[in-house]
Amino acid sequence: MKQPIEMYINGEARSVTVDPYRSLLDTLRGEVGLTGTKKGCDVGDCGACTVIVDGRPLNACLMLAVEAGGCRVETVEGLQASPDQLHVLQDAFMRHGAAQCGFCTPGILMMAKSLLENNANPSDDEIRFGLSGNICRCTGYTKIFDAIRSAARQLQETPA
Amino acid sequence: MNKPHVPVEARRAFTIVGQSVRRNDVLEKVTGEGLYTADINRPGLLFGKIKRSNVAHAKISRIDTSKALALLGVKAVLTHEDVPRFLHYGSPHPRSASCTRDQYILDDKVRFWGEGIAAVAATSEEIADEALDLIEVDYEELPGVFDIDSAQAPGAPLIHEVGPGSNLVLPPVRVERGDVENGFAEADFVLEGVFEGGRPVPAYMEPNVCMADWDGSNKLTFWTSTQTAFMVRGSLAEVLGLPLNKVRVLVDHMGGGFGAKQDLFQHEYLCALLARQTRRPVRMEFTRAETFIAGRSRHPCRILLKQGFRKDGTICARDMKIIYESGAYGSHSPGVTTVGTNAATSLYRCENVRLEGCAVYTNTPIAGAFRGYGVVQAYYALDIQMDEAAERLGMDPAELKLKNAVREGDIAPSGHPIVGRGLEACLKHGITAFDWIAKRTETPRNDPAQPAIRRGWGVGCEMHGSSAYPGIREQGNATVKMNEDGSVTLLTGAAGLGTGAHTALAQIVAEELGVTFESVSVVHGDTDVVPWDIGAFASHTTYLVGSAAKIAAGKLRAAVLARAAEKLQTPTEALDMVAGRIFIADAPDRGLTVADAMGPSKGIPADHLIETGSYTPTKSYSFAAHFVEVAVDIETGLVDVRHVMPVHDVGRVIHPIAAAGQIEGGIQQGIGHTLTEDYLIDRTNGRSLNAGLVDYKMPLSMDMPKIETVILEAAPDPGGPWGAKGVGEDPIIAIGPAIANAIHDAIGARFHHYPITPEDILCALAAQKKE
């Protein structure tokens, strides 16, 4: 029996009707139509589906949509302040070559956003630890670390 | 052979090539707007799933789909009785002579655990999954062979009716140069070793996915995550009995491939057939487990390597036998065996070589193309044995490798002469920049602050070809259009699997034309629109398609200048064009913009210009030396790679950040396959043991070393645009032996296999204690 739920996705109230077994990931990608969040494993191993729910980063494949009822959900589509104003992290990822195939990128961007919100000046070890649940198979992570360091500096100089 | 025997083109200065411009596909990647195949939807979409065998080798004696078909929401079920019985290629390269036709779409015989035996299309994934459980199958089990030895034992059960027999995929590849017996007779000492390689998988982040839709004119539109869209088109058309213009293959963004997404996969045929049967669009998406079971791995291998050395470090004879385990189907085994075996003629100079390469079927998942393509295995053995020779000679290993490094004029594995002294340049640069001699000779292996840690330093070398010549006579194509407003459109069939290839191609076009990078847009990924392409593999896109794009852009430049000359009433030869402005070279103030040249003026209507470029390359070789530091924990057996300095010669660098990204990502995969990654198959029954990203251990953010990437432009090759060569595969080849050699330096134990696990380290240390 499908259930109606309301979520606040990227600041906008959205009502959807979902099967009780449907994951938040499948709901975002299917019912809501936000396909920026990727499915790399569907079992919580890869972090490609990282979204921020009520301020906490988590794997959208491991949360049921019905559990997210009433929650604030942030996805990669909500990172930009406006169509022509990118988030500092998005800009840094482009400049530093932190995205290759780009499949892990939305999840890593959301994890990095959460990391910087909780720790404005992370050490290299803290960045590494912060990304330990996100698999990237293209970059060797070096350019991702560069981008996050650069974004952190920029955010400290001119807070968003 | 149309490799131009001329020096690399001299040029005044580059304005776009060599700059790390913002990639033209990256905005979509950071905003989430980029469409990957699984992101695309169609009205009425059905979901396809594959039923997989739970035995490794069997005849299917009965398969009953009636219960599955009766389930509400199930729209079609296909078994071997319902699909065309057509023996097809796993790797259908129409310009290659060495393909293996050994697969049916569905067969009444099962050759590995997890092979697809039926397919379902249903209105939801859940219903499709439920239907799979309702398909009843009876098997008549056959004895299986699960490793190289049992597959080659006398009387071993045969997996295929086709091929040369004895479970061989192809007749052995034999290469002989000089006089090996004589060479060994002249040797002061001989080293001999057996080397073994595990089964790493590419583990691209985007699981294989495709979607098929047929229209009323019986034309198939097929979205798929592939490196080789035109191969998909060709093979689907062949199997479905359609002309090529009735199959349209689309791929926009894709989430990595690393070589493996060159194959035609079983689910791709089945998806097209399910859509045809139901007259509805069907999507099939692998689970992560299926990317292991039904994907493609690197070939596990065994190598017997014997080399004779003189006291001065010269190699006087090399005898190598390499056996690749192909798994249940041939896939890329002919290419891998040929390329890997021939690779051992080179890297370190030797006049007398005798090589034999085989590929053997077993009842295990399919090995295919994977970054490094047979060469990873061969050079792992070759480079480690060089390290052993240095130890025996009391020489520094980097010095010995430098002494024997392949150089200008030597015959490359492809049969034509090496250009330049790239490997020597990499070694020399690294010896100084890494402070190699001091690190090796002056730094204690023990660290008083960390009593369980032993440090060690190692170097590994490699060379790798850009393009699959001579195995495949490749062809690169490009169409470049100049629009009426002076903007430029490049049409290319090259896949964008994540490397930044489309950016490099646009840079090449902009540079050659004399326009800005931003004025060039790239159209790709639609086989109905773009020129034919062989696919993105063999580290060749920049080299091959880049050359074709440069040819097309050069013709277009001439056409644009001719048009401007008419407008300026001046001879074409007097004109130059830079950054989108055309001017008289001797009077730079007199000129016009490209837009003005293309637009209308009195008596001259607006125009758009179209030019094409086509290029058939031979091959260039790129080189690398990797210098690494490891820390081995003698209590836990853990190996920590702390520092890597990869030094690469890639000829002319088009986009430095993208090139460095290839190198650093290759090191990540290479560290994995050397230390932790191995897709394990139960050797008693063929079952997969770790088909998931937790049990298959890859290096992640916490594991990556400090990497100081060095890119040299030491040996540009005239076959590539302004001397550019490939870079995609090189890094994964050199890092493995560098790590193995560093472990030996740290603890004195020599390993001839990968992955080198903590258990292996502890066993070796325990054995040392006993001695």
pLDDT at res. B100: 79
Q: For chain B, which ranges sit under pLDDT 70?
A: 1-12, 90-99
Give the Cα-Cα-Cα angle A72, B32, B224 (nearest 5 degrees). Answer: 130
Q: Tell me if A135 is assigned to some domain.
A: yes
User: Phi and psi for B480 in degrees, rounded to 5?
Assistant: -120, 130
User: Phi and psi for B121 in degrees, rounded to 5?
Assistant: -120, 130
Same domain? A7 vs A71: yes
Q: Between β-strands B301-309 and B189-197, what pairing exists: parallel, antiparallel or unpaired?
A: antiparallel
**Residues of chain B with C-beta less than 8 angstroms from the C-beta of A21:** 126
Same domain? A7 vs A74: yes
Domain boundary residue among A22, A46, A78?
A: A78
Tokens in use for B629?
């530091």
Q: How far is B295 from chain A (nearest CA, A)?
A: 14
Q: Average pLDDT in the A95-110 region?
A: 98
Tokens in use for A93?
């990822």
B40, with CB counted inside 10 A (0-12, 13-18, 19+), is middle
Question: What's the domain count of chain A?
Answer: 2
ipTM of the complex: 0.98
Q: Does B26 sit within 8 Å of A99, measured CB to CB?
A: yes
Q: Which residue of A has its CA nearest to B702?
A: A128
Tokens in use for B616?
């058939």
Q: Where are the alpha helices (DSSP H) in B344-481?
A: 375-393, 397-404, 422-433, 436-442
Q: How far is B54 from chain A (nearest CA, A)?
A: 22
Return the axis-axis angle of helices A88-95 and A142-157, rounded to nearest 10°. Answer: 140
Same domain? A98 vs A67: no
Residue of A18, A77, A101 to mutate, interface with B, max B Cβ within 10 Å: A101
Same domain? A43 vs A104: no
User: Contact B716/B651 with Cβ under 8 angstroms?
Assistant: yes
Same domain? A33 vs A98: no
Same domain? A25 vs A61: yes
Q: How far is A96 from chain B (nearest CA, A)?
A: 7
Query: For chain B, which domains are there?
Result: 26-34+475-615 (3.30.365.10), 422-460+622-771 (3.30.365.10)
Q: Which residue of A has its CA nearest to B287?
A: A41
Of B348, B449, B336, residue with least CA distance to B398: B348
Of B81, B52, B56, residue with least CA distance to B159: B56
Q: Tell me if A142 is assigned to some domain.
A: yes
Q: What is the dihedral of CA A60, B499, B527, B234, to 10 degrees?
A: -90
Domain boundary residue among A23, A43, A78?
A: A78
Instruction: Please name every residue paired with B577 in a beta bridge, in sequence order, or none if there are none.
Output: B582
Same domain? A108 vs A71: no
**CATH number for the domain including A70?**
3.10.20.30
C-alpha B207/C-alpha B203 separation (Å) is 8
User: Contact B52/B118 with Cβ under 8 angstroms?
Assistant: no
Q: List the 61-80 stretch of A: residues with Cβ below 8 A of B.
A: 75-77, 79-80
Q: Tell me if A83 is assigned to some domain.
A: no
Q: Between β-strands B282-285 and B46-52, what pairing exists: parallel, antiparallel or unpaired?
A: parallel
Give the Cα-Cα-Cα angle B38, B43, A105 (nearest 5 degrees). Answer: 20
HSE value, Cβ hemisphere, 13 Å, CA-based, for B584:
12
Q: Does B207 sit within 8 Å of A97, measured CB to CB?
A: no
Residue B729: DSSP 8-state:
S
Whole-Å CA distances, B279 to B85, B267, B581 = 21, 17, 53
C-alpha B47/C-alpha B278 separation (Å) is 11
Q: Does B657 sit within 8 Å of A103, measured CB to CB?
A: no
Q: Does B203 sit within 8 Å of A38, measured CB to CB?
A: no
Cis amide leading into B755 (omega within 30): yes
B679, with CB counted inside 10 A (0-12, 13-18, 19+), is buried
Whole-Å CA distances, B223 to B38, B91, B398 = 9, 18, 48
3-state secondary structure B429-464: HHHHHCCHHHHHHHCCCEECCEEEEEEEEEEEEEEE
Same domain? A74 vs A92: no
pLDDT at res. B3: 40
User: Contact A49/A33 with Cβ under 8 angstroms?
Assistant: no
C-alpha B659/C-alpha B235 separation (Å) is 32
Q: Does B660 sit within 8 Å of A97, measured CB to CB?
A: yes
Q: How far is A157 from chain B (nearest CA, A)?
A: 22
**Residues of chain A with C-beta less than 8 angstroms from the C-beta of B498:** 100-103, 138
Instruction: Please name every residue paired with B253 in a beta bridge, in sequence order, or none if there are none.
Output: B36
Concatenating the DSSP letter of every residue in B559-580 gives HHHHHHHHHHTS-GGGEEEETT
Helix, strand, coil % over all residues of chain B, rounded to 5: 30, 25, 40
C-alpha B26/C-alpha A106 separation (Å) is 12
Q: Is the sign of the CA dihedral B143, B148, B149, B155 positive or negative? A: positive
Same domain? A64 vs A94: no
Domain boundary residue among A78, A112, A144?
A: A78
Concatenating the DSSP letter of every residue in B138-162 gives EEEE-----SHHHHHSTTPPPS-SS
Q: Does A79 sit within 8 Å of B661, measured CB to CB?
A: no
C-alpha B380/C-alpha B357 separation (Å) is 15
Instruction: Work out the number of other CB atoms within 10 angstroms of the CB of residue B399.
Output: 16
pLDDT tens string A14-57:
999 999 999 999 999 999 999 999 999 999 999 999 999 999 99
Q: Tell me if A65 is assigned to some domain.
A: yes
Instruction: Please name every residue paired with B626 in a beta bridge, in sequence order, or none if there are none.
Output: B460, B646
Amino acid at B362: T
Same domain? A105 vs A46: no
C-alpha B464/C-alpha B534 separation (Å) is 19
pLDDT at res. B480: 98
pLDDT at res. B9: 57
Query: Residue A97's domain spans which residues?
Result: 88-157
**CATH number for the domain including A142?**
1.10.150.120
Residue of B698, B701, B703 to mutate, interface with A, max A Cβ within 10 Å: B701
Nearest neighbour of B30 by CB, restricted to A21, A35, A109: A109
**What predicted TM-score, i.e. pTM, was given to this entire model?**
0.97
Q: Which residue of A has its CA nearest to B292?
A: A41
Concatenating the DSSP letter of every residue in B586-612 gives TEEEEEEEHHHHHS-BTTB----EEEE
User: Contact B146/B683 with Cβ under 8 angstroms?
Assistant: yes
